[in-house]
Amino acid sequence: MQSSLIDRSGRHISYLRVSVTDRCDMRCVYCMAEDMVFLPRQDVLDFDELERLCAIFIRRGVRRIRLTGGEPLVRRGIDDFVGRMGHWLQSDNSHFDTRGKLDELTLTTNGSQLPAHARALADAGIRRINVSLDSLNSDRFARITRRGRLDQTLRGVRAAREAGLSVRINTVVMAGVNDDELDDFIRWCGETGADLCLIETMPMGETGEDRRQHYLPLSDIRRDLSRRWTLEATDVRTAGPARYVRIAETGHRLGFITPLSHNFCETCNRVRLSCTGQLYTCLGSEDATDLRGIMRDGGSDDDIHTAIDVALAHKPARHDFLISDQNGTVQGPARHMSVTGG
């Protein structure tokens, strides 16, 4: 058995985020350009290739995998792939290498396709999902997503809850765009039975939007919300970067992801696999290791293990996102979030 995944800072890597496609049925203003050029099909890993790489990571100690995109549920055959991955959740993996096992398989989605897929996700062993939702106003939702329909996403959330899935709503907070809706989000999540996670906008890829105009540090948001809601400390932690409080009035959790105002790099346990087989050890770095090339050139699993070890030896100690009004600086990777794996 290969050794555990440990980077040069001594951080144990136990969480893999996997983009299964760069395609999406929305064009959210903080994520994509309106006129996106998507990857040729032959550049994208097929499901056998994706499963092979996931299995390698699981055998090295990855215990949680999150499927992302783009929008993962627009990829044809996704339900079958999720079902195959769900076998790694079982304690009796008779037809798999039992040296590796997943504790959790999760998924991030914009919710538009959930009415058709929620039951299959639950049947595969997924127990919780994240749904990206940045406005509860239909006109504003359409402007943010550039082509999405609020009623369709809300139907998706209902379908997920009816299938027994726990739901966390992910909301990117944007000044002058949706920062006046946060109380509505808290109330609606309480009524829906969902947790809420607020996220600072990140400078990734050219989207046609000026991030400086929309950036808000979540410390300011938390201070403002605490004037109207009772935010109770909690030691709840998931595998990701969110830091949670409990809202006494609703009984649900409120999370904060703060890549700019307060980075969480010292506890990073994550790497990302793009849909083209590029391994990114840091969301904020351009450095990548081409695992697809190794596979398609006939490389062995040992060759892939070696490439992963080399990549981890160069994992940055911290990311370098920056948005500054003082000198107009916006610093981040040129690639879009949809390419990276969330």
In a domain, 205, yes or no: yes
Identify the band that residue 205 occupies on the pLDDT scale cut at 50, 70 and 90: low
Q: In one letter, which amino acid is 16?
A: L
User: Residues within the annotated binding site for GTP?
Assistant: 17, 66, 108, 270-272
Q: Is the per-residue pLDDT at 158 higher than 80?
A: yes
DSSP 8-state assignment for residue 272? E
In a domain, 187, yes or no: yes
Give the pLDDT score at 322.
Answer: 45
Identify the band that residue 263 occupies on the pLDDT scale cut at 50, 70 and 90: low
User: Residues within the annotated binding site for S-adenosyl-L-methionine?
Assistant: 30, 70, 132, 202
User: Residues within the annotated binding site?
Assistant: 17, 24, 28, 30-31, 66, 70, 108, 132, 202, 265, 268, 270-272, 282
DSSP assignment string, 29-93 = TTT--SS--PPPGGGSPPHHHHHHHHHHHHHTT--EEEEESS-GGGSTTHHHHHHHHHGGGSS--
Length of the chain counted residue by residue:
342
CB-based contacts of 96, cutoff 8 Å, min separation 6: 55, 87, 88
In a domain, 6, yes or no: no
Q: Contacts for 133-140 with beta carbons within 8 Å, 24 or more apart? A: 133/157, 133/169, 133/170, 133/171, 134/28, 134/171, 134/172, 134/174, 134/177, 134/178, 135/178, 135/181, 136/181, 136/184, 136/185, 136/188, 137/181, 140/177, 140/178
Q: Is the per-residue pLDDT at 253 higher than 70?
A: yes
> For all residues of the chain together, what is the average pLDDT?
88
Give the mean pLDDT of 182-207.
87
Range scoring the smallest mean pLDDT among 28-32, 91-95, 219-223, 248-252: 91-95
Taken in order 153, 244, 187, 251, the sign of the CA dihedral is positive
pLDDT, tens only, 33-61: 888 888 999 999 999 999 999 999 999 99
In a domain, 4, yes or no: no
Higher pLDDT, 306 or 315: 306
Give the mean pLDDT of 221-226.
97
Give the pLDDT score at 238.
Answer: 74
Identify the band that residue 175 occupies on the pLDDT scale cut at 50, 70 and 90: very high
User: Residues within the annotated binding site for [4Fe-4S] cluster?
Assistant: 24, 28, 31, 265, 268, 282
Above pLDDT 90, what percent of the chain?
69
Give the pLDDT score at 330.
Answer: 47
Higher pLDDT, 213 or 138: 138
pLDDT, tens only, 311-330: 999 988 765 544 445 544 44
CATH number of the domain that 55 lies in? 3.20.20.70
Angstrom distance (rounded) from CA 120 to CA 114: 10
pTM of model > 0.85: yes
Higher pLDDT, 160 or 267: 160
Total tally of structural domains belonging to the chain: 1
Pull the structure tokens for residue 67.
């499927």
In a domain, 7, yes or no: no
Pull the structure tokens for residue 127.
């127990």
pLDDT, tens only, 110-144: 999 999 999 999 999 999 999 999 999 999 999 99
Domain of residue 256 covers: 15-340
Identify the band that residue 337 occupies on the pLDDT scale cut at 50, 70 and 90: low
In a domain, 3, yes or no: no
